[in-house]
A and B are shown apart, each in its own frame.
Chain A
Amino acid sequence: MCLSRIGFAAADGSRSFQPRLKLHLYFSLALQETVLFMDWITEHKLPFGEAMEDFVDLLVDHGGAVFDAISETLDTLIHGLTEGLLWIHPVALILAFTAAAWLWHRRWGMPVFTIVAFGLIWNLGYWEDTMATLSLVLYATVICIAVGVPLGIFTAHRNWMYRFLQPVLDLMQTIPPFVYLIPTLTLFGLGVVPGVISTVIFAIAAPIRLTYLGISEVPKELLEAGRSFGCTHRQLLFKVELPAAMSSIAAGITQCIMLSLSMVVIAALVGADGLGVPVVRALNTVDIAKGFEAGLAIVLLAIWLDRFFKQRDKTAG
Chain B
Amino acid sequence: MIEFDNVNVVFGKQPQRALPMIEQGLTRSEIQEKTKLVVGVNRANLTVEEGEICVLMGLSGSGKSSLVRCVNGLNKVTSGSVRIKDGDEYIDFATASEPVQRDLRTRKISMVFQNFALFPWLTVEENVAFGLEMQGLSKAERLKKTRRQLELVGLSQWANRRPDELSGGMRQRVGLARALATESDILLMDEPFSALDPLIREQLQNELLEMQRELNKTIVFVSHDLDEALKLGSKIAIMKDGEIVQQGRPEQIVLDPATDYVRNFVASVNPLSVLRVRSVMQSLDAVASDDQGRKLISKAHDIWLENPGTANASVIYQRDDSFHPQIWSSDRDITTLGKLPTIVSNDTTLREAVEIRYVTGHCVLVEDKNHIVGFVADRQIYHSLLGKHLGEESG
Contacts and interface: CB of A to CB of B under 8 A. Distances in A.
Asked whether A and B interact, the reply is yes
Interface of A: 219, 221-222, 224-225, 227-232, 235, 239-240, 243-244, 246
Contacts of A224: 69, 74, 111, 113, 117
Interface of chain A, helix or strand or loop or mixed? helix
A228 B102 contact: no
Interface in B145-183: 178, 182
A228 B121 contact: no
B128 to A, nearest CB: 11
Contact of A229 (B69, B114, B130): B130
B75 to A, nearest CB: 10
A243 B130 contact: no
Contacts of A219: 117
Q: Most chain-A Cβ atoms within 10 A of its Cβ — which of B105, B118, B121?
A: B121
Given A221-B115, A224-B113, A235-B134, A229 B105 contact: yes
Contact of B134 (A221, A231, A243, A244): A231
B113 A225 contact: yes
Contacts, number: 59
Contact of B117 (A225, A230, A243): A225
B111 A225 contact: yes
B103 A230 contact: yes
Contacts of A230: 102-103, 105-107, 131, 134-135
B72 interface: yes
Interface in B66-88: 69, 72-74
A232 B105 CA distance: 11
Interface residues on B, range: 20 to 34
The 4 closest A-B pairs by CB, nearest first: A230-B106, A230-B105, A225-B117, A221-B117
Contacts of B280: none
Nearest to B111: A228
A28 B179 CA distance: 86
B355 to A, nearest CB: 43
Contacts of B114: 221
A229 B119 contact: no
B171 to A, nearest CB: 12
16 contacts: A221-B115, A221-B117, A224-B117, A225-B113, A227-B105, A228-B72, A228-B74, A228-B110, A230-B102, A230-B131, A230-B134, A231-B134, A235-B134, A239-B133, A243-B121, A244-B121
